[in-house]
Amino acid sequence: MDLTVNIGQLKLKNPVMTASGTFGYGEEYSEFVDLNMLGAIVVKGISLKPMDGNPSPRICETPCGMLNAIGLQNIGLKRFLKEKLPYLRKFDTKVVVNILGNTIYEYVKLSKTLDEAGVDGIELNVSCPNVKKGGIIFGTDKKTLTRLISKVRQSVKKAILITKLSPNVSNIQGFSKVAEDAGSDAVSLINTITGMAIDVETRKPRLANITGGLSGPAIKPIALRMVWEASKVVKIPVIGIGGIMNAEDAIEFMLAGATAIEVGTANFVNPGVTVEIINGLEAYLRKKDIYDVKKLIGGMYRA
């Protein structure tokens, strides 16, 4: 049984990755999951300087999903390198670091330092809907995105470069193409979809930030459609994200064109879900007499 997939020159032992912001720095899950089994761990987004995040309430549940406005709270590059990376390195899995900044300079500095520190991949977060500056500005303007990716590309020698795309754009294909042309090794999509909820009793927004990012099974059909669209126009691998709760969901994304997938909100519900998805994927392949998971990629039959 061959579960390996390739993202650029990086070979993953299986296509199951974790979505940034839902898997902490790996440590938080080590009692529930054998981290060695994962295709890759994508850690919580890192910025140059530590960030405090948004006031509470930061999350609220909505039908079949949740809204979050964490505000990119993180410990910053320095502490990540010192306290978190050595721990992650102990495991036989690939480490991808999600990064975010306010300026192109910050992205370049982050990716250069992380590349030199030996991380396997860098995921550019250009799609967080929850902070005023940075992030999303790059992900919703094609010119800025091109400049950002090209600059980062020049500074990264070994690590693969993944651009995480925002669904909050009118044309996902255009942005996928921009990411490919500017030198990304892969695109990952989708980040959360901007949403909001109001408590009618108090007339207050349910999030202190008013708006937040919607995730969970509620967004899966949208994510699947966008992955399908993106994979039709780019040659680089597409990493599917959005409401994946089990192996069947993961397979759907691969059939739609994803080379790998990231599991997000499901980790909160079932901290052992990633390994269950890997096992379920293997069982599916065995049942269908397919011995290479790569055969699933884009394998949807047209009705």
Give bridge partners of residue 262 from the DSSP assignment: 17, 241
Amino acid at 157: K
Give bridge partners of residue 92 from the DSSP assignment: none
128 is catalytic: yes
Considering only residues 26-55, where is the footprint of another protein by CB under 8 A?
28-29, 31-32, 44, 52-53, 55
Instruction: Find the part of the chain contacting another protein (CB under 8 A) among 34-42, 116-124, 184-192, 215-223.
Output: 215-223
Select 197 or 290, whichever has its Cβ closest to another protein.
197
Considering only residues 148-187, where is the footprint of another protein by CB under 8 A?
none
Distance in Å, CB of 245 to another protein, minimum: 7
Instruction: Find the part of the chain contacting another protein (CB under 8 A) among 86-94, 123-131, 139-147, 260-268.
Output: 260-268
Q: Tokens 């065995």 correspond to what residue? A: 286
Q: Tokens 């969970």 correspond to what residue? A: 216
SS3 66: strand
Under the binding rule (CB under 8 A), the answer on residue 22 touching another protein is: yes
Amino acid at 135: G
Residue whose C-alpha is closest to residue 59's, from 77, 73, 75: 73
Binding another protein by CB under 8 A: which of 5, 10, 46, 70? 70
For 86, other C-beta atoms within 10 Å of its C-beta total 10
Residues contacting another protein: total by CB under 8 A: 36
Under the binding rule (CB under 8 A), the answer on residue 248 touching another protein is: no
Under the binding rule (CB under 8 A), the answer on residue 60 touching another protein is: yes
Considering only residues 264-283, where is the footprint of another protein by CB under 8 A?
265, 267-272
Torsion of CA 237, 242, 243, 244, to 10 degrees: 10
Q: Name the DSSP class of 278.
A: H
Distance in Å, CB of 258 to another protein, minimum: 21
Distance CA 180, CA 182 (A): 5
Residue whose C-alpha is closest to residue 243's, from 209, 210, 277: 277
Instruction: Find the part of the chain contacting another protein (CB under 8 A) among 75-83, 92-100, 152-160, 263-271.
Output: 263-271
Torsion of CA 86, 87, 89, 93, to 10 degrees: -160
Choose, from 3, 128, 169, 234, the residue flagged as catalytic.
128
Q: Which stretches of the chain bind another protein, using CB under 8 A? A: 21-24, 28-29, 31-32, 44, 52-53, 55-61, 63-66, 68, 70, 73, 216-218, 245, 265, 267-272
Q: Which residues are marked as active site?
A: 128
